């Protein structure tokens, strides 16, 4: 089978789906690989490094789409790019299909199959395929560095001849993969860290990393599946906001990481909470692209509001493109080897990983998140 890897077209995207090391392994396993010229440059992988690994380099995108069996991307192609794919092509990328129906429709029209990396089930045997976690780990680390860089003070306590500097206080919303890495990074830098999460079972993980857990009583409106919060009531969000408001008021840095798959991100930091913070404080909203956890945050902008810096960077893993590409490439390599050999796809339709991640099969929407109504229906 023939694999093609293209340049990413999303704004501010520096990652690439496959690295030279993974190309070498694909070739050794009997796959053919074509890389679009310059696809890896933003991640510091040259055309020559891909050629040395056994890939063909091409600048004829239309020809690549017309002659490939498998398209590997970080982000889903645009609908007009999907339209160029030949019938029967298999696309593997992030899709977030539930909130991007135009992608599902484009895949159906092109009569291709599409697997979504964000839909890989969170089960133990799929851990090496979990691209959401690998990228969130990096995002959690980088978020602390971005916020610390924007803060006009240091994070650790420091004793000098001129006096003692108190440690900064960091409040983190969400103790998922990104939040836990943010906790660990902020603690390593010497900050006092407080953490809010609506899942009480995260308390032990937070405290094991040196963070203080902010207790918020749970209620029956919270639905958690596979480690993700699936739904939450407005009344509970209001209760959470009231509980954490005094912690936000005293914080130097606030980092929010809360996402609900397929839905708008919940509002955790209100405008009144922003107003209550000291001048010079910093908020980083990791959920800004999904609507934002912070009232007033703006996608890909750093703004000042009520004397507080609010960072709305939408693609934090891309800022660490070398590591992010390396981890994503290993995720996608493991995933592809699970699904196929050099001779073709297995199409084990009842197998848990295949069933959970397959969005479109031969032009038919098959995933529960997209097949509940006809593609293109109002």
Instruction: Indicate which residues carry an active-site annotation.
Output: 122, 127, 130, 133, 228
Q: Dihedrals φ, ψ of 254, to 5°?
A: -120, 130
Question: Helical H runs in the chain?
Answer: 20-28, 47-52, 61-67, 79-82, 101-110, 131-150, 177-188, 203-208, 234-249, 271-276, 321-339, 352-357
- Taking a C-beta distance cutoff of 8 angstroms, is the pair 230, 205 a contact? no
Question: Do the strands 358-361 and 113-116 form a parallel or antiparallel pair, or are they unpaired?
Answer: antiparallel
- Taking a C-beta distance cutoff of 8 angstroms, is the pair 91, 115 a contact? yes
**Could you tell me which residues are beta bridge partners of residue 91?**
71, 114
d(CA 16, CA 22): 12
Structure tokens, 176: 């998922």
d(CA 331, CA 43): 17
Residue 328: closest CA among 144, 131, 53, 185:
131
Structure tokens, 268: 């955790």
Structure tokens, 357: 């991640």
In terms of phi and psi (left: phi > 0; alpha: psi -120 to 50; beta: otherwise), the region of 230 is alpha
Residue 255, CA atoms < 13 Å, CB-side half-sphere: 33
Residues 6+ apart with CB under 8 A from 340: 1, 70, 90, 346
Structure tokens, 265: 């991100």
């Amino acid at each position: 089978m023939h694999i093609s890897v293209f340049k990413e077209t999303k704004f501010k995207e520096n990652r690439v789906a496959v690295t030279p090391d993974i190309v070498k392994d694909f070739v050794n396993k009997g796959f053919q690989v074509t890389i679009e010229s310059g696809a890896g440059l933003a991640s510091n992988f040259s055309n020559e490094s891909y050629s040395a690994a056994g890939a063909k380099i091409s600048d004829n995108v239309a020809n690549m789409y017309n002659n490939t069996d498998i398209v590997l991307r970080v982000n889903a192609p645009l609908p007009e790019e999907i339209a160029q794919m030949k019938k029967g092509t298999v696309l593997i990328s992030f899709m977030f299909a539930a909130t991007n129906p135009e992608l599902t429709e484009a895949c159906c029209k092109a009569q291709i199959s599409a697997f979504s990396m964000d839909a890989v089930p969170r089960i133990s045997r799929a851990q090496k395929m979990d691209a959401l976690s690998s990228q969130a780990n990096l995002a959690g680390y980088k978020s602390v560095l971005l916020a610390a860089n924007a803060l006009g003070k240091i994070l650790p306590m420091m004793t000098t001849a001129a006096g003692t500097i108190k440690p900064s206080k960091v409040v983190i919303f969400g103790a998922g993969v990104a939040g836990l890495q943010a906790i660990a990074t902020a603690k390593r830098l010497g900050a006092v860290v407080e953490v809010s999460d609506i899942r009480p079972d995260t308390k032990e993980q937070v405290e094991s990393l040196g963070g203080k857990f902010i207790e918020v009583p749970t209620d029956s409106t919270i639905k958690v599946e596979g480690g993700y919060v699936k739904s939450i009531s407005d009344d509970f969000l209001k209760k959470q906001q009231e509980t954490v408001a005094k912690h936000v008021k005293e914080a130097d840095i606030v980092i929010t990481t809360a996402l609900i798959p397929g839905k708008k991100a919940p509002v955790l930091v209100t405008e009144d909470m922003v107003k209550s913070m000291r001048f010079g404080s910093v908020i980083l909203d990791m959920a800004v692209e999904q609507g934002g956890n912070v009232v007033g945050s703006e996608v890909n902008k750093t703004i000042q509001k009520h004397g507080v810096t609010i960072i709305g960077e939408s693609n934090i893993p891309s800022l660490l493109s070398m590591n992010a590409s390396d981890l994503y490439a290993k995720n996608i390599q493991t995933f592809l080897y699970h699904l196929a050999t050099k001779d073709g796809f297995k199409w084990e339709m009842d197998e848990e990983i295949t069933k959970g991640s397959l969005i479109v099969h031969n032009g038919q929407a098959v995933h529960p998140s997209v097949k509940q109504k006809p593609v293109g229906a109002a």
